[in-house]
Amino acid sequence: MNLIATQRLLEAARGDRPADLLLRNARLINTISYEIEEAGVAIFEGRIAGIGDYEARETLDLRGRYLAPAFLDGHIHIESSLLTPPEFARAVVPCGTGGVFCDPHEIANVLGTNGIQFMLESSEGLPLQVWVMIPSCVPATHMETAGAVLKAEDMAPFLSHPRVLGIAEVMNFPGVILGMEEVLRKVALGEGRPVDGHAPGVRGKWLNAYAAAGIGTDHESTQLEEAREKLRRGMAVFIREGSTAKNMQALLPLVKPETAHHFAFVSDDRHADEILLDGHLNATLKMAVGLGLDPVLAVAMASTHTARIFGVKETGAITPGRFADLVVLEDLKDFRALQVFHRGQEVAREGKLLKDIPPADTSTVMNTVKLPELGNESLEVRAKTAKVNIIDAIPDQIVTGRSQATLPVRDGVLHADPAQDIAKLVVVERHGKGGRIGKAFVRGFGLTGGALASTVGHDSHNVTCVGMNDQDMLLAAKTLQDLQGGWVVVRDGRVLASLALPVAGLMSDQSAAEITPKLEKLHAAAHDLGCKLSSPFMALSFLALPVIPSLKLTDHGLVDVEKFAVIPLEVADAG
């Protein structure tokens, strides 16, 4: 804020100049003192001039409704909403969300710096503050083929952008802990800035080393004691409640008033249809309070704590001098947003955006699906033994289990086995870089036939396909090539449902309202195949993420995350 703007704001704060807007009779949620004040809030030139009674050119009587800081999501991949930034804003702003700290590593793994630039440009001028953390893991590991490679020197130029805050989740935690030079160069870029972590299951001396490298946050805890240890070692704990990973119930008992400033809420990955149906952080707050968390503390964990962790001082609380990013709430139980203000302007009312948002220019991020030629034998699994390692899908988690099973063999080819709830899983490289195909088997989808496929396959975003027979799996993959990205359900040689995601193979060019019926049809079709997972496509996408334990599949093959190495599909004969 320049000198003249500061002087004008101070005049309004002193009462020597009328405010632009006075919000009267508010029950102000003070997330600094953790209390509810009955007071007015004066707004001048987009900022909060003062708390109390003021003269103003316009007055709005809130009639005792609650006034909270607009909500801040501490870690999200906008691409995983399946929406471009403008459409994401259209969906979440009416829910009371005022800002997000996003990591565009999904699109960066497809398009590198061009993808990051697209996310920065398309998130400019929205009624939603989009801060960006620069992706540190493109690709996430050496055990997969991504569409791009980002080194420290590729990341550095973005740090001069005013909305770029620091370094996004450092997923290669073994690389950090073991002191790999290139990984530490990336972490070093964040000196004096926030550096987000990603340390699933990391405990003991390895956690000491990870924290010692300068990693400040973690959103991957799934167990209370794991989160407690990270808190004790100085890391901010992000409690995640997303479309697939749901960790709040396990972690919320750890939150105490004296340590709550080290906690914040994040969604990580949340689909458009769930946002439209349930909401965004307002749904998280509803759940947290329903589980017994104090409502004022809950709001603080979705605003002030988040801003403080990232060093953001101009928003996140209702105090003089900060931007007037506010939400009027009906109550502190359901957290329904009645009105939303961005920089002092009302931008949403009763669940509706008040001003239209221009669509993103997607011309530079299309036509990214380049599959190899796939024939009848491309997906066959030939093995010397019928006993293989199995990935076990765990409902509502992105971690997986592991087991072994003996599969049916016909003509030397291994097959899926519905009797054991075991489907075939393949990952096909889709960036035009050699066309590798990884093959394995997964338990827990419940499929009785058909196939599901997606170009959203964290984090390299190759084609991930699960199915009970090769013919349907081949059709699913080829359909994604025709769509230039998306989700598809196939059975008996027929496409039952599909959603095109042509923007980098990750996002639709339509709104949440437009794609939600297609998502509903996809999920219904998947469940008609017997799928018993609540978010089958999100679960499918994370089966290709080789930085989350225990077994995952990439185009390079079956990855043992604990060993951080590709392992054989076949189980060696002990004899």
For 491-514, the pLDDT digits (tens) are 999 999 999 999 999 999 999 999
Position 325 in a domain: no
- For residue 446, pLDDT over 50 is answered with yes
Cβ atoms of residues 96 and 128 within 8 Å: no
pLDDT at residue 535, as a whole number: 87
Question: In terms of domains, do 286 and 387 share one?
Answer: no
The per-residue pLDDT for range 55-96, each reduced to its tens digit, is 999 999 999 999 999 999 999 999 999 999 999 999 999 999
Last residue in a domain, options 314, 339, 359: 314
Please count the structural domains in the chain.
3
DSSP letter assigned to residue 573: P
Nearest CA to 79 out of 309, 310, 265, 243 is that of: 243
The per-residue pLDDT for range 512-551, each reduced to its tens digit, is 999 999 999 999 999 999 999 988 998 999 999 998 899 9
CA dist., res. 55 & res. 11, Å (int) = 12
Question: In terms of domains, do 146 and 276 share one?
Answer: yes
Distance of CA 61 to the CA centre of its chain: 37
Position 188 in a domain: yes
Per-residue confidence band for 237, with pLDDT thresholds at 50, 70 and 90: very high
Percent residues over pLDDT 90 in the chain: 94
Last residue in a domain, options 64, 85, 103: 64
pLDDT at residue 575, as a whole number: 43
Cβ atoms of residues 104 and 138 within 8 Å: no
Cβ atoms of residues 99 and 69 within 8 Å: no
Burial code (b: 16+ CB inside 10 Å, e: under 16) for 231-248 equals beeebbbbbbbbbbbbbb
CATH code, domain carrying 23: 2.30.40.10
Nearest CA to 76 out of 106, 103, 96, 99 is that of: 103
CA dist., res. 4 & res. 329, Å (int) = 34
Please give the average per-residue pLDDT across 168-185, as a whole number: 95
pLDDT at residue 455, as a whole number: 98
Question: In terms of domains, do 59 and 88 share one?
Answer: no
Please give the average per-residue pLDDT across 401-429, as a whole number: 97
pLDDT at residue 140, as a whole number: 87
Position 340 in a domain: no
Domain that holds residue 41: 3-64
Instruction: Name the pTM for this structure.
Output: 0.95
Which residue is associated with the tokens 């939603």? 128
CATH code, domain carrying 142: 3.20.20.140
Which residues are paired to 51 by β-bridges? Answer: 41
Question: In terms of domains, do 404 and 282 share one?
Answer: no
Position 101 in a domain: yes
Question: In terms of domains, do 179 and 198 share one?
Answer: yes
Question: In terms of domains, do 297 and 399 share one?
Answer: no
- For residue 574, pLDDT over 60 is answered with no
Per-residue confidence band for 120, with pLDDT thresholds at 50, 70 and 90: very high
Question: In terms of domains, do 105 and 233 share one?
Answer: yes
Question: In terms of domains, do 183 and 34 share one?
Answer: no
Question: In terms of domains, do 15 and 39 share one?
Answer: yes
Question: In terms of domains, do 74 and 59 share one?
Answer: no
Please give the average per-residue pLDDT across 467-482, as a whole number: 98
Position 572 in a domain: no
Position 375 in a domain: no
Average pLDDT, the chain: 96
Cβ atoms of residues 132 and 85 within 8 Å: no
Cβ atoms of residues 144 and 138 within 8 Å: no
Question: In terms of domains, do 412 and 277 share one?
Answer: no
Question: In terms of domains, do 545 and 429 share one?
Answer: yes
The per-residue pLDDT for range 351-385, each reduced to its tens digit, is 999 989 999 999 999 999 999 999 999 999 998 88
DSSP 376-424: TTTT-EE-S-SEEEEEEE-TT-S-EEEEEEE--EETTEE--BGGGTEEE
Percent residues over pLDDT 70 in the chain: 99
